[in-house]
Chains A and B, each alone.
Chain A
């Protein structure tokens, strides 16, 4: 099934500069409906109100981290199916294991390039 590039994508990071970077990279990949949240709690509120086809989230945020957000998403019956990609500087294997156990769809380590973002998005959404 073709990937619907008109889907709403939620990007979550406490660094506004990083939100801008990811937004621009998504735009170049053809995804223009992008919403932003600066921490997990804000993102969770937005997810419960809106409809999103993908979440791309940082890990280190306050008051709610990306891992906590992921657990909340996977615990919510309505949100559980939403693909969730972690994009983070946390690169230890225990981080990856924890994210996987929490139900992450894919994991990108910062710094990353556009090709990696596209590859990981394709792995969870389908080729585009």
Chain B
């Protein structure tokens, strides 16, 4: 049975934490309480006290290790860069495929409008071909729905990462600070893939840039 003094001290500490944080307490605060309890358990300690001490010490070490592992994941970077980038790219896919599908159907509809000036057998053949084009265009609806599912899954991951960040405190939000010093570009840095609409350089600007070297 823990000493009365420890009980009272723990009670006071918990009251203070509850007043400050309500019922949602950061894990770091729990670690502080555990350490404080260990520090106060001085003097004659019975077998029960010793067991409690060991459990608390083990809990403190576990919390410390968990904190370090989660910090290493850089949850802020995951949420603010990787997931945000992924959902932007997926939105761009849906937009691009929708635009392309509409272009294809514009062309198919234009072909269909030629029926009036064609011989019947040719018009029927053309109808069959344009029908196949419309059928093929249904892919865009399916891919759009699949992408929506992926975005929902990413949002779920983002919410859970955010939960971890809240639990361990704001010092984990941004991870390692990035250096502002300019760095030399490597070949790997030049592999970025297509840019989101509005972010890349258009052909006219590229031509102008190339011409500037002449």
Contacts and interface: CB of A to CB of B under 8 A. Distances in A.
A and B: interacting chains: yes
Given A15-B141, A21-B134, A25-B134, 11 more contacts: A17-B98, A17-B101, A17-B102, A17-B105, A17-B141, A18-B140, A28-B131, A111-B138, A112-B135, A114-B131, A114-B134
Given A110-B142, A111-B142, A21 B137 contact: yes
A15 B144 contact: yes
Given A60-B145, A89-B145, A21 B131 contact: no
B144 A20 contact: no
A20 B134 CA distance: 9
A98 to B, nearest CB: 18
A18 B131 contact: no
Contacts of A15: 140-141, 144
A13 B112 CA distance: 24
Contacts of B134: 21, 24-25, 28, 114
Interface in B138-187: 138-142, 144-145
A113 interface: yes
Contacts of A111: 135, 138-139, 141-142
Contacts of B140: 15, 17-18
A78 to B, nearest CB: 31
Contacts of A25: 131, 134-135
A20 B142 contact: no
Interface string A1-37: 0000000000001010110110011001000000000
11 contacts: A15-B140, A17-B140, A17-B141, A21-B105, A21-B141, A28-B131, A110-B141, A110-B142, A111-B135, A111-B139, A111-B141
Interface of B: 98, 101-102, 105, 108-109, 112, 127, 130-131, 134-135, 137-142, 144-145
Which secondary structure dominates chain B's binding surface? Answer: helix
B145 A114 contact: no
B108 A110 contact: no
Interface in A30-52: none
Nearest to B97: A17
A112 B105 contact: no
A96 B141 CA distance: 20
Contacts of A114: 131, 134-135
B128 to A, nearest CB: 9
B137 to A, nearest CB: 5
Contacts of A17: 98, 101-102, 105, 137, 140-141
Given A15-B144, A24-B108, A25-B131, A110 B102 contact: no
Contacts of A28: 112, 127, 130-131, 134
